[in-house]
Amino acid sequence: MPHWNVYISISGGVIMSTACNLGFLTIMTILDSDYKMENGALGIPLAPEVEKRIVDELTNIAESNLKEGNLYYVISNRWFTSWQKYTGQNVDSYLFDKHSPDSESLDFQKLVDRPGPIDNSDILVNGTDTEGNDLELRRTLQERFDYILVPQPVWEKLFDWYKGGPALPRNMISQGDFNVQFSVEVFPLCLKLIDSTDNSQSIIRLSKKASLQELYQRVCALRGIEPEKVRIWDYFNKKKHEILEDSQKTLEKAELQMDQDIVLEVQEDGFWPSRFSMDSTGNELALIPIDPPRSSVTTGGRPNLSNDHSTSYGGSFYLDSTLSSSIADTEDGYDISKAATKADRGGFAGLQNLGNTCFMNSAIQCLVHTPPIVEYFLQDYANEINEQNPLGLHGELAVAFGELLRKLWCSGRTAIAPRAFKGKLGRFAPQFSGFNQHDSQELLAFLLDGLHEDLNRVKQKPYFETKDSDGRPDEEVADECWKHHKARNDSIIVDVCQLFSQNPQGQYKSTLVCPDCSKISITFDPFMYLSLPLPSTVTRRMTVTVFYSDGSVLPMPYTVTVLMQGCCKDLSMALGAACCLSSDESLLLAEVYDHQIYQYFDTPWEPLSSIKDEEHLVAYRFPKNWAGLTRLEICHRYLENCLSDNLKGSQRKLFLTPLVTYLENPQTGADIDIAVSRVLSPLRRKTYFGPTNINGGKENDSFSGAIDESKNSSATHNGHGFQLMLNGKQEETSSRELNFQLCVTNDKGFSCWPISKDSPFKPGQSVNVMLDWTNKDHELYDSSYLKDLPEVHKAGLTAKKTRQEAVSLFSCLDAFLKKEPLGLDDMWYCPSCKEHRQATKKLDLWRLPDVLVFHLKRFSYSRYLKNKLDTFVNFPIENLDLSKYVRSKDAFGQSHVYELYAISNHYGGVGGGHYSAYAKLIDENRWYHFDDAHVSPVSEDDIKSSAAYVLFYQRVKVEPNAGLGKPPQDQVNP
């Protein structure tokens, strides 16, 4: 191996780097070992790739040592994105998909200026707080869109390099009692302290994991008062609840909410004040401690036998939970000792929003207006609580939900503040803790599963080995699957969502077919709800340039119309029709970025939503059966002269569109040369124009670019800040025997080796080469056909407004039940092939449950964006007949007609929005709108909207053969 002398020159106080790969790696090694000593002392900015490596290493170290108390810093994503671009990272992949292809695959990055000082001003609220001048973040911020979190060592390094700020430190906390998770508390608990002596107000910010003792210390330090003369009241909703005792109890377990009031009382002359002045609304606030009343009815309906206030769940589980319940009842402003029966005509109570909890309120209102669940939790369910189930939550979720349901049905029209339930929910499911917006359907799924396990009547679950169908009758396999499922799962949730009468319900049939050996596997699985896709009729115009891999025709752009929610297979079919693709041809879709193939769309089911309008797509026409051929990918370069005083010399730069062709068993470099000549043949000029030089320099037919760029006599790239000079002579090659100057490279273009006529090649799946264009090549071939690829869709064009899209609920159900292949990340292990295969999957409804829940999949996610579909789904309110969808022969004697009784709505977009619920009070046969604390009657004609997100149906009895299988008129797709 030849020895190369490497020199690093400094120009204008900035270290300069070359674009050649070997020199780049050499410099990286030198800097990485010395940056801690030399550059810090010199005050010289590091190369962008060095900054990236340092940050990546520090981040990996921090992520491998996650623990409570670790310090993270909030940084504006606007500034951080500019730093990412400067360091050559793929910004989109960072924002939306952590596992996207690494940005280092984009070797020929565009030059970006070094960002200025760190600037967090765009994520801060104007002004400062009254307490400690703490800087406040805007509440509407979203991680990865508005801000990012970096570990303390990364912040210190970035601040050392760029300065600026201000610093916004945040602590990592642990959440959950059963499923512990670590998260950074970006928005600490904000409490408004009201001083009863002068009615002044202050803002206190503390972690929800801070203790009440820390709260007392903060308040005393702020007011300059001795701790023994202070007491603080929980003053939620302008009502006195209880004294917050100075203890190690956390603010979270004290059920303090974001932005709520707390009241400070100061002892005067040994006496506590009994009241203080008027509040801002003019209401006199009485602060006389009152013992909470004791309920005479327990959660399970048993008499109360104790005055113990403990909340432990030991041997006296129901007794203790009852007393904690009675205290919570008083907090909400009423006594649960009222008769908890449906005769009270309850169900009119709203739920107060505790801070972005509308998603929870919407889901709960739908559940607490499900008639069988109401009947169950208003009766004595104590004996069915399963404390030993390892998959459950020791019965606490069932108790908390039961208490909340009883409050809602016993409070008349008084809105309930579900603080106790929200606190326990955060302990059970840390993903729902805090005060961020979440998904009502995700919460609903958690509640159904958690309530089922807490109320599971099966104490010891037996084990059953899963058996294949092996050609047995469907009825036999279905009954066997249900028998095994029922032996392990038996609860009110199973009764309601999976069981009707004595027959198994809530089953769907899943059929998998292996694409290689045609092995068929049939299973029967229970379900609690169905997630239905929304078939879209909205179209999208996409432009793709089609190339002929055999070099028979010039490339041609085609604009086709496809479904907005379609997949790459749809695009290929539309393109094939547009370019008259023959039956023995196929199309290979690819994205071109910076004159390279960024990615191939070789997965036919990849959604088109992953392709942005500003991208450049190409399609290569290949023989249909080209699996045994070698794919040849050709990228183009030209020699650019640099005349700058600091950067004298030349370098190779990419240009034009890559070409892709195929080879049949390539053996030598001559085979590569012939394939290149063939694919370029349509570009060959018919008229000779004489000598030209597109770079303005001397004509150069030498092979200066046919060896590794690191061996050039002088190669420069001012994007990295280094200048590399290597001493050595170029090797003579026999490449002049070829028609073109070619180098073989890897798929990332890191290294180049010259190709000669006799260069040996081993047959493989693909070969990547660089074609270095000479002046002679430009004389013979017209490269203009390979320039200026059109965008997928030209930005700036005003879309024509059309009427609102609408589909029927039946269309959504048909889309859910259609046959489709599994995703590449969800391959099926074929027991016959003994390999993971991308099998096709077909679902059928076998039996239906008593309560049927439809989740409309309005939210979609791709590697670039999140999207919400506002498609109007025309769903029936009455007489939803699903008879034609049920495949069980035994099920046709039952009713498959359903009636709507509740809807969870979502208004707005992905980044925000609001949830509410519609629910029908069965006794009144009237619909109501539950919008957090506000409850109002609503017309049945108004409950249909494009905001409908989760639909709740209940089976109704109908006359035999009364219109079975004939949907009413309003169910037809308009």
On whether the CB atoms of residues 841 and 512 are closer than 8 A, the answer is yes
d(C-alpha 936, C-alpha 146), whole Å: 36
Nearest to 680 by CA among 831, 608, 794, 783: 783
509 vs 462: CA distance, rounded Å: 23
Mind giving me the DSSP string for 693-715?
A: -TTSS----S-TTSS-GGG-SSE
Q: What are the E-state strand segments in 664-745?
A: 715-717, 722-726, 741-745
Q: Do the Cβ atoms of 849 and 505 come closer than 8 Å? A: yes
- Is 514 a residue of the active site? no
Annotated catalytic residue, options 358, 481, 568, 812: 358
Answer yes or no: are the C-beta atoms of 401 and 428 closer than 8 Å: no
Neighbours of 938 (CB within 10 A): 16
CB atoms within 10 A of CB 879: 17
Tokens of 842: 């077909």
3-state SS, 863-893, equals CCCEEECCCEEECCCCCEECHHHECCCHHHH
Active site residue 241: no
Please provide residue 27's backbone torsions phi and psi, each rounded to the nearest 5 degrees. -65, -40
Do the bridges between strand 275-278 and strand 499-500 make them parallel or antiparallel, or are there none, so unpaired? unpaired
Q: How far apart are CA 573 and CA 575, in angstroms?
A: 5
Tell me how far apart the alpha carbons of residues 68 and 171 are, in angstroms, rounded to a whole number: 8
- 718 vs 15, 105, 459, 536, CA distance in Å? 10, 19, 70, 48
Which is it for strands 201-206 and 189-195: parallel, antiparallel or unpaired?
antiparallel
| Torsion from C-alpha of 27, 32, 37, 42, nearest 10 degrees | 50
CA distance 312 to 229: 31
d(CA 53, CA 87): 9
3-state secondary structure of 502: coil
- Give 346's contacts (C-beta < 8 A, 6+ positions apart): 408, 409, 410, 411, 412
Question: What is the C-alpha to C-alpha distance for residues 703 and 524, in angstroms, rounded to an integer?
Answer: 66
Taking the C-alpha atoms of residue 632 and residue 655, their distance in angstroms, rounded to an integer, is 18
Query: CA 382, CA 304: separation in Å to the nearest integer?
Result: 13
Q: Among all residues, which ones are annotated catalytic?
A: 358, 914
